[in-house]
Amino acid sequence: MKVTKKTIYQVEDFDLRFKPADDDNIIIEKTDKGFEVKYLTYDEFNDNPFDNQDGMGKFYHWKDNGKDELEKYCEYLGYDIDTREKIGKENPLAVKIDKYEHSGISYSIAGEGMQCQFDTSHSWAVWFPDKCALDEIMTYKTKETQRKRALEIAKEACELFNNWANGECFCIVKETFDHNRESIDYDTVGGYYGRESAERALKTDI
């Protein structure tokens, strides 16, 4: 005999298929067929968003990520790859990134995030626009406005990375029930990074 274990998450007499991320974002609505229950659940199978999202640029690290990234890091910042001495000009669209790591990871534009003597690695990475981001940046007419837009996208990229790296990744779920609160069907949509973004999507995307 095969024995299987099934976990049920119950909310107001509805047996849910997935564990809600919290109790504050569960939406219950009456329908002609019965009920719809919408909620957030953590997405345990999320992808690195920088692998499949254009327009957010890319981080290049000076260590731990291979020679190709190191070469790009040095190229964009004007460093000698062997001595790390400054030998050229920094690319005006390159943005230095600090890393704060203490019970989690936080990327920020250099000098703007948590500054800790022991836990902050200064200029840990450099952000540089991908083709899609570069095309947008170059629609701005002056070097100053191009730099400003690059900083804005780099900041958005840091926020996206922080949400992904720290597990703030969500699916939104819609389950349908009959009038007796028996399950009929369900639907899920994944790929939401950050709780605020997921909460907004819960009200509109499913």
Report whether 122 contacts 98 (CB < 8 A). yes
Report whether 127 contacts 59 (CB < 8 A). yes
Per-residue pLDDT of the chain (206 residues; tens, 9 = 90+): 666 666 779 899 999 999 999 988 999 999 999 999 999 999 988 888 888 889 999 999 988 778 899 999 999 999 999 888 999 999 999 999 999 998 889 999 999 977 887 889 999 999 999 999 999 999 999 999 999 999 999 999 999 999 999 999 999 999 999 999 999 999 999 999 999 999 999 999 88
List 101's β-bridge partners, or say none. Answer: 105
Report d(CA 118, CA 125) in Å as an integer: 17
Contacts of 172 (CB under 8 A, 6+ apart): 38, 39, 40, 188, 189, 192, 198, 201, 202, 205, 206
Could you please report the per-residue DSSP string of 133-183? HHHHHTTSSSHHHHHHHHHHHHHHHHHHHHHHHTT-EEEEEEEEEETT--E
Q: For 68-119, what is the HEC assignment?
A: HHHHHHHHHHCECCCCCCECCCCCCCCEEEEEEECCCEEEEECCCCCCCCCC
- pLDDT of 88: 94
Kindly state the DSSP code that residue 45 receives in the 8-state scheme.
T
pTM of the predicted protein model:
0.85
Count CA atoms closer than 13 A to 190's CA, side-chain side. 12
- pLDDT of 115: 83
Cα separation of the two ends of the chain = 39
φ, ψ dihedrals at 109, nearest 5°: -60, 140
Count CA atoms closer than 13 A to 163's CA, side-chain side. 22
- pLDDT of 167: 93
Would you list the domain boundaries of the chain? 9-46+168-204, 51-165
